[in-house]
């Protein structure tokens, strides 16, 4: 069983998780666009777009359009959802405030000890 993340380390762990998710999304977008552009460039060199889209380019070469568009699309979606994913992957422990670990007994809102706002409305506000 993995050790639970202490509340002081949640923000740092989320930042690292967010960085990794965005790095993966950038890689997917760049490599996907590269595959598509390689195929389009091949078509321009051959001066026949349709033949280049169906022609065999060489040993170990795949069809860039078929893999490139989904890779680039997956990278864009991952980039757009990276912040929500990092919050889902690294959940806030129930022990108290994320910043100072003050025991708040499950009360959302601003921490009375350090003033950190967790973004949730408090029970008394509308």
**Is the pTM here over 0.95, yes or no?**
no
What is the per-residue pLDDT for 1? 41
The answer on 108 and 85 residing in a single domain is no
Residues 124, 108: contact at Cβ < 8 Å? Answer: no
The answer on 102 and 72 residing in a single domain is no
> Position of tokens 């690294």?
90
Half-sphere exposure of 67 (CA within 13 A, CB side): 11
The answer on 105 and 67 residing in a single domain is no
What is the per-residue pLDDT for 59? 56
What is the per-residue pLDDT for 22? 95
Domain count, the chain: 2
Give the residues of the chain that fall short of pLDDT 70.
1-8, 49-62, 92-96, 104-107, 119-126
- Residue of 106, 104, 98 lying closest to 8 (CA atoms): 98
Domain-located, residue 114: yes
pLDDT digit string, tens, across residues 28-57: 999 999 988 888 887 778 777 666 666 666
The answer on 55 and 85 residing in a single domain is yes
Supply the range of the domain harboring residue 31. 7-89
Alpha helical stretches, state H, the chain: 10-46, 49-54, 64-89
What is the per-residue pLDDT for 70? 92
């Amino acid at each position: 069983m993995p050790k639970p993340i202490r509340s002081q380390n949640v923000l740092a762990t989320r930042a690292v998780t967010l960085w990794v998710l965005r790095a993966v999304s950038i890689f997917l977008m760049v490599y996907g666009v590269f595959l598509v552009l390689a195929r389009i460039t091949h078509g321009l060199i051959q001066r026949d777009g349709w033949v280049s889209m169906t022609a065999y380019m060489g040993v170990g070469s795949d069809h860039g359009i078929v893999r490139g568009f989904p890779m680039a699309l997956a990278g864009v979606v991952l980039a757009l959802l990276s912040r929500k994913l990092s919050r889902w992957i690294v959940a806030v422990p129930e022990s108290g405030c994320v910043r100072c670990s003050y025991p708040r007994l499950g009360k959302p809102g601003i921490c009375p000890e350090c003033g950190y706002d967790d973004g949730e409305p408090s029970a008394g506000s509308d």
